[in-house]
Structure 1
């Protein structure tokens, strides 16, 4: 084989990491853009811009920590800064200075263990009271000032809190779905391990039972038929040697496999893990190639379930071999793959080739044999 560089992708970003990325992408950009717009429109001097920027920073920091499930650690300083900026804005005549508190406050309330309704009312009351300080510095306060600094700000905070409750519920459901998917993938891996244990039991369980019976029989025969006892012991020796060979083959994934069975098993495992799988079977493979391709498929299936964040897998069986493509591969982690490396060497020894490539988050495993080996089947037939 000319080049074989196996790649493995560790599943380091399960539900929590994936949801964090979704939250960051969906919340931080619009939050920063609106905050910058508020500062540009509402500030009349450079020092007002600095103070208003502090409120935007508090909102951004609080939201970023919320996406990491670490908001309680920064809740108090962010709330203090945002509240101070709003009080300053009310006194300085900056009506949009409540932007920071309208983000940090609604973010903090859903994380409280209880008294959330009371906390919402207290937040709205503080925002309204801080806005009411504008009435003290204005010589002739009118209805417009009351609506702008008191009513509108308090109403906005209440609405934002309600929306945050709904958003929190949606993300909780997404987290539960992602965690369920991770558990399904782990369950699929456990099923594969149990299948391996079952194969091992099939090999050794029956053999050990027969060995026990033959040793007992040989012990009885020693008294009156030594030759027959020796024959029984020779059978025991041969049986144990054969079992050792089968166990080694199983340990190194060299036991005879049925490719059709492996295709069906891989499909069931992926579907159980919530992964969409498509199997295109365009040709029939002979037994020699099918056994090796079945081993490649089994090893690749296990790696996808354990180390990738796949959502789609496509398996293509052609006259020359098999190709497995999955998404969800991480390009930052590239350690060696012992399982596929061993299989790659076995394919090379049998005239085949195993290629593993990674491009744009897609992981491709392709095992091929010379065209003369497989037996052609009706092209285009799919399973």
Structure 2
């Protein structure tokens, strides 16, 4: 169960990160373009700034694939080298963008010392930005004190305060985003536990039915066997009657047990619909039931068995987020998403039900398409034979 929960939560996180790739990549590309277009004033400036932009884009793409750890260090080294070169050589106040982007993706995923690393990032951005004052003071050596002070204020704003403030904001938002993914993981694990509990409750219900059938019978058989043993010599005819009753009782129990094992006991389709709805909702799965018309009496019980078996299969084998149930006069269709990409699992229960439906003149089809698993049972007009 642990392995399956981990697989499901990773799949959910993967979907969220891919969503981030589709929604956040355009503005990130725009920001990268602005960094290069605004600060490049000579062809060789691009040689300095573009590596930082590429490192940020590579790190972001790997982050969406949940693989940031493999590229974090090389991307961070490249982006961190671009910032001082941008400050001291190119005079680019936006060259911090690469190192801030890479670090904001990598630091929240660190196993420990996350806040120390975040503080070091902010200090690095601020400290490197402040070195621009050395360059400006050398260039402005001939200016007056007032002009020099005004120039220093402008440098502090563009190279220190704005980069540091943006870096701090981005790293805080990154920590918040990672906590969001943690919450999603916890909710997904909780949903999986609910689904497992739903299956366990179904098994307990089955065990209770089996106990009701066999428990009483075995108790009666024990009493009648003891009575027949006492009567076998004193009253052989009475003992023979008891043995015949035991034989009939055992035969009836075998029949009921077979009916239970193959879901052949009489079912109430409306009750099964309500039970399926409750089980899906308990597992965090959205469910929509459409009753176009009521099925004929001859097929209602069989459709209830199909619904019960399919409900169990969805809870056990799928990573469903929504289920659609459509009921017609002669059939039922259950569609769920979250189907396994490698193909549908082996569903022995549905295979046995299909044989019964075919024998009664109906059909049961299961299909997998576009990540959705469809179970459709139908009888021809006129119902089951």
TM-score, structure 1 normalization: 0.82
Preserved CA contact (<8 Å) 1:215 1:233: yes
Q: Aligned residue for 2:126?
A: 128
> Which residue, 297, 313, 327 being the options, matches 1:303?
313
Gaps of 5+ in 2: 141-150
Preserved CA contact (<8 Å) 1:11 1:307: no
**How big is the shift at 1:127?**
1.0
What are the residue-to-residue correspondences of 1:340-351 with 2, within 5 Å? 340-351=350-361
The DSSP-based 3-state class of the residue aligned with 2:139 is coil
Specify which structure has the bigger relative contact order, considering alpha-carbon pairs within 8 angstroms and separated by 6 or more residues: 1
Q: Aligned residue for 2:9?
A: 15
Cα distance between partner residues in 2 of 1:133 and 1:161: 23
Cα distance per residue 1:76-113 (max 9 Å; x no partner):
44433332222222233133221122123333444467
The structure-2 alpha-carbon separation of the partners of 1:216 and 1:67, relative to structure 1 and needing over 3 Å to count, comes to farther
Aligned length in residues: 365
**How big is the shift at 1:11?**
9.2
Cα distance between partner residues in 2 of 1:19 and 1:86: 32
Q: Aligned residue for 1:102?
A: 100
Q: Aligned residue for 1:312?
A: 322
Cα distance per residue 1:137-175 (max 9 Å; x no partner):
453263333322222211211111122232233333333
Gaps of 5+ in 1: 1-9, 375-383
Q: Aligned residue for 1:228?
A: 238
Does residue 322 of structure 2 align to residue 326 of structure 1? no
Preserved CA contact (<8 Å) 1:15 1:175: yes
Q: Aligned residue for 2:373?
A: 363
Preserved CA contact (<8 Å) 1:40 1:49: no
Preserved CA contact (<8 Å) 1:308 1:328: yes
Preserved CA contact (<8 Å) 2:17 2:65: no
The structure-2 alpha-carbon separation of the partners of 1:41 and 1:281, relative to structure 1 and needing over 3 Å to count, comes to same
Preserved CA contact (<8 Å) 1:189 1:306: yes
Instruction: Indicate the larger mover: 139-148 or 94-103.
Output: 139-148
Cα distance per residue 1:247-285 (max 9 Å; x no partner):
233223333322222122112111212223233334444
Preserved CA contact (<8 Å) 2:199 2:312: yes
Q: Aligned residue for 1:200?
A: 210
Cα distance between partner residues in 1 of 2:253 and 2:348: 25
Cα distance between partner residues in 2 of 1:334 and 1:43: 55
Does residue 82 of structure 2 align to residue 88 of structure 1? no
Preserved CA contact (<8 Å) 2:5 2:189: no
Q: Aligned residue for 1:214?
A: 224
Preserved CA contact (<8 Å) 2:18 2:65: no
Cα distance per residue 1:116-136 (max 9 Å; x no partner):
555443321111122233344
Cα distance between partner residues in 2 of 1:119 and 1:218: 84
The DSSP-based 3-state class of the residue aligned with 1:222 is helix
Q: Over aligned residue pairs, what C-alpha RMSD do you find? A: 3.1
The DSSP-based 3-state class of the residue aligned with 1:95 is coil
Q: Aligned residue for 1:24?
A: 18
**Higher helix residue share:** 2
Preserved CA contact (<8 Å) 2:20 2:64: no
The structure-2 alpha-carbon separation of the partners of 1:336 and 1:118, relative to structure 1 and needing over 3 Å to count, comes to closer
Instruction: Indicate the larger mover: 46-55 or 229-238.
Output: 46-55
Preserved CA contact (<8 Å) 2:344 2:368: no
Q: Aligned residue for 1:265?
A: 275
Cα distance between partner residues in 2 of 1:76 and 1:331: 33
Preserved CA contact (<8 Å) 1:11 1:306: no
User: Which of structures 1 and 2 has the bigger CA Rg?
Assistant: 2
